[in-house]
């Protein structure tokens, strides 16, 4: 079987890319799972990005217009009048994108695993049957443990984190606000999030250890016995290079196109899918990495913020909360906050001499990594 483009991995990014390419090329998508949407993922996507990417409205479960940030002893709130992020149903998102791609002409091999390359062909396995397909160009959209990235020799020194997430029944009085809890005594590596689906159901998670998630649930007065769904998965924060070599490219989590501040990867992966599709349609695949330079900048900025975060203890966090919770900072954050461009807000804070002076007193690390 011969194709123009074979996309390995039918997650959100692979399916999205198939949509962009299916009218121009003979496209095949190879997906190891037998159905969509099993992956651990809270499904929060910036509203602006969601609209810009023209993602299916049917997958939106909830609209979030603000966040409440909690430390161990204080809190502050950032809110907007319009939704800033959507909480989506991953299965509906992936399936709808796959349906759209098929209608445009893409072919899907579900329940089929990519095993490696042999003589320029992709070796696939469906249950106990092995076969080969040939394509002019191969794309690895096969997630953080990408087999395609391994095969093309991409290297990384990224930090890999295990994420744990539960869907839990409780009382969530403000279903349009996500809660972000920073408590280094419970989890040194990451924050906890509580993302309501509605008034009585929320997705609660963290990256680090399962034990810390259960301790958080207890502290947040949510009962482990009220968990109705449990998922675990991995993210990689850092750089995996290269993103393209000869006739093979990687995209999405496979290329670690993940926001290091929140570990969200759907929007960044899809923006890079656009860059890849554009370069392929124009017959200049080598332009792909360069066309993703904004995302690369965001990732490298996010890595600096992550370095700061991991180096701080709870006392530092409390002092940062005092500064960021001030009316001056809240007003500035509300004015500049952009769900997928955290650099914009941080730069605005740094440009405020008073806020910068207060932050620098807390830790010289901030000077080293941000200014």
Residues that bind ligand FAD (CB under 6 A): 8-14, 30-33, 39-45, 113-114, 141-143, 147, 163, 165, 205, 233-235, 252-253, 258, 263-267, 269
DSSP string, 47-93: HHHHHHTT--GGGEEEEE-EEEEE-SS-EEEEE-SS--EEEE-HHHH
Name which of 16 and 309 has its Cβ closer to ligand FAD: 16
Q: Measuring CA to CA, how many Å separate 159 from each of 233, 259, 364?
A: 14, 13, 24
Name which of 301 and 340 has its Cβ closer to ligand FAD: 340
Name which of 46 and 358 has its Cβ closer to ligand FAD: 46
**In the complex, least distance from residue 143 CB atom to ligand FAD, rounded to whole angstroms:** 3
Name which of 95 and 358 has its Cβ closer to ligand FAD: 95
Question: Which of 82, 223, 68, 250 lies closest to 155, judged by CA?
Answer: 250
**In the complex, least distance from residue 249 CB atom to ligand FAD, rounded to whole angstroms:** 13
**In the complex, least distance from residue 235 CB atom to ligand FAD, rounded to whole angstroms:** 5
Rounded Cα–Cα distance for residues 162 and 254 (Å): 16
Residue with tokens 């409205």: 57
**In the complex, least distance from residue 49 CB atom to ligand FAD, rounded to whole angstroms:** 9
**In the complex, least distance from residue 286 CB atom to ligand FAD, rounded to whole angstroms:** 22
DSSP 243: S
Name which of 144 and 323 has its Cβ closer to ligand FAD: 144
Are 261 and 267 in contact by the 8 Å Cβ rule? The answer is no
**In the complex, least distance from residue 359 CB atom to ligand FAD, rounded to whole angstroms:** 27
Name which of 188 and 231 has its Cβ closer to ligand FAD: 231
Rounded Cα–Cα distance for residues 227 and 170 (Å): 9
Question: Which of 333, 338, 325, 335 lies closest to 349, judged by CA?
Answer: 333
């Amino acid at each position: 079987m011969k194709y123009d483009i074979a996309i390995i991995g039918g997650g959100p990014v692979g399916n999205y890319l198939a949509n962009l390419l299916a009218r121009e090329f003979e496209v095949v998508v190879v997906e190891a799972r037998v159905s969509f949407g099993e992956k651990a993922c809270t499904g929060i996507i910036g509203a602006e990005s969601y609209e810009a990417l023209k993602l299916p409205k049917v997958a939106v479960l909830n609209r979030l217009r603000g966040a409440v940030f909690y430390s161990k002893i204080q809190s502050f709130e950032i809110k907007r009048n319009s939704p800033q992020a959507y909480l989506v149903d991953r299965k509906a998102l992936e399936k709808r994108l796959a349906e759209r791609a098929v209608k445009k002409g893409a072919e899907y091999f579900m329940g089929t695993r990519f095993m490696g390359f042999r003589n320029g062909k992709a070796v696939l396995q469906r249950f106990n049957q092995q076969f080969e397909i040939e394509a002019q160009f191969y794309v690895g959209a096969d997630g953080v443990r990408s087999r395609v990235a391994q095969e093309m020799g991409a290297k990384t020194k990224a930090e890999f984190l295990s994420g744990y997430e539960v869907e839990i029944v409780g009382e969530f009085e403000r279903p349009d606000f996500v809660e972000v809890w920073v408590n280094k005594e419970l989890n040194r590596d990451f924050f906890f999030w509580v993302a309501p689906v509605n008034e009585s159901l929320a997705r609660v998670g963290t990256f680090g250890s399962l034990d810390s998630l259960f301790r958080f649930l207890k502290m947040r007065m949510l009962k482990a016995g009220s968990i109705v769904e449990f998922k675990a998965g991995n993210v990689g924060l850092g750089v995996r290079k290269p993103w393209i070599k000869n006739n093979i490219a990687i995209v999405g989590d496979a290329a670690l196109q993940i926001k290091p501040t929140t570990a969200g990867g759907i929007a960044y992966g899809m923006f890079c899918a656009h860059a890849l599709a554009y370069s392929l349609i124009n017959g200049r695949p080598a332009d792909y990495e360069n066309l993703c330079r904004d995302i690369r900048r965001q990732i490298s900025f996010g890595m600096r913020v992550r370095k700061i975060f991991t180096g701080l203890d709870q006392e530092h966090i409390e002092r940062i909360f005092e500064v960021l919770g001030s009316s001056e900072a809240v007003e500035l954050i509300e004015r500049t906050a952009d769900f997928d461009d955290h650099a914009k807000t941080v730069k605005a804070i740094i440009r405020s001499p008073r806020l910068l002076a207060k932050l620098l007193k807390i830790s010289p690390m901030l000077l080293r990594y941000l200014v």
